[in-house]
Copies of this chain bind each other. A is one copy, B any other.
Amino acid sequence: MLEALKKEVFEQNLKLVEYGLVVLTWGNVSAIDRESGLFVIKPSGVPYSEMTAEDMVVMDLDGNKVEGKLNPSSDTPTHMELYRNFKDIGGVVHTHSSWACAWAQAGRDVPAYGTTHADFSNGAVPCTRGLTKEEVESAYELNTGRVIVEEFAKRGISPKACPAVLIHRHGPFTWGENAQKAVENALILEEVCNMAYRTESVAALSTDSNIGIEDYLLEKHYNRKHGKNAYYGQKL
């Protein structure tokens, strides 16, 4: 079942390796078939080099395994919670990529410092609050998803306006219209986090510097790529 989607999810998991976003068995990609309400996700702790498309696990949105011999990723309930609440997304990615984790571990939002960021997100990439002891000790991975959804609701950010979040003390989740876009967003987020650190560092070394993108430039870049009258790329 869902053979095409399993193949896509498998291939996009391998992209994490190609893009240098994961170490060993870390990281996971999923994608959802909105019609059936089923999503496909990487199995837990399997080396990328030994994994096949057939190893992908099919889940429903109540957390039941529908097909697959292996255990799904331990982060599966987080993916599920995102699919339940962010109705327009088709793919979700979790990694421990190094720069995104550094910002998450420092408990900081990633400010919009330039057009590279603005091409990606219409404002800062939020870092969630930390989970409480209770949230960690029961249904941890599900609560991780809830905290993401809460954070976006509280700040009034739509998942389309910012396709990424940092989990406090943990690392990034990204999403997109499909698995490929979600993986590309994981790659861009890592680059944006790296660049934001470098920007602050370069600025801190001189009094003749200043940081923070102007609102009109942020809007311009975000909209030339994602807005109604976007003119970046090809309309085929």
Interface residues of A (CB under 8 A from B): 23-25, 43-46, 70-71, 74, 96, 98-99, 101-108, 113-116, 130-131, 133, 136-137, 140, 169-171, 184, 187-188, 191, 194-195, 197-206, 208-211, 213-214, 216-217, 220, 224, 231-235
Measured between C-beta atoms, what is the minimum distance from A108 to chain B in Å?
Answer: 5
Q: How far is the CA of A199 from the CA of B206 in the complex (A)?
A: 13
Task: Tell me the nearest residue of chain B to A167, going by C-beta.
Answer: B115
Would A169 and B98 count as touching, CB distance under 8 A?
no
Task: Tell me the nearest residue of chain B to A197, going by C-beta.
Answer: B202
- 7 A-B pairs besides A23-B188, A98-B198, A201-B205 with CB distance below 8 A are A71-B235, A98-B191, A101-B114, A136-B214, A136-B217, A137-B220, A200-B206
Tell me how many chains of this kind the complex includes.
Answer: 4
Chain B residues within an 8 Å CB radius of A102: 195, 198-199, 201-202
Selected contact of A203 from candidates B43, B108, B198, B204, CB within 8 Å: B108
Q: How far is the CA of A46 from the CA of B200 in the complex (A)?
A: 31
Would A216 and B137 count as touching, CB distance under 8 A?
yes
With A24-B187, A170-B115: A107-B209 Cβ-Cβ less than 8 Å: yes
Task: Tell me the nearest residue of chain B to A170, going by C-beta.
Answer: B115
Measured between C-beta atoms, what is the minimum distance from A117 to chain B in Å?
Answer: 9
Would B204 and A205 count as touching, CB distance under 8 A?
yes
Measured between C-beta atoms, what is the minimum distance from A91 to chain B in Å?
Answer: 16
Q: How far is the CA of A54 from the CA of B115 in the complex (A)?
A: 29
Chain B residues within an 8 Å CB radius of A98: 191, 194-195, 198
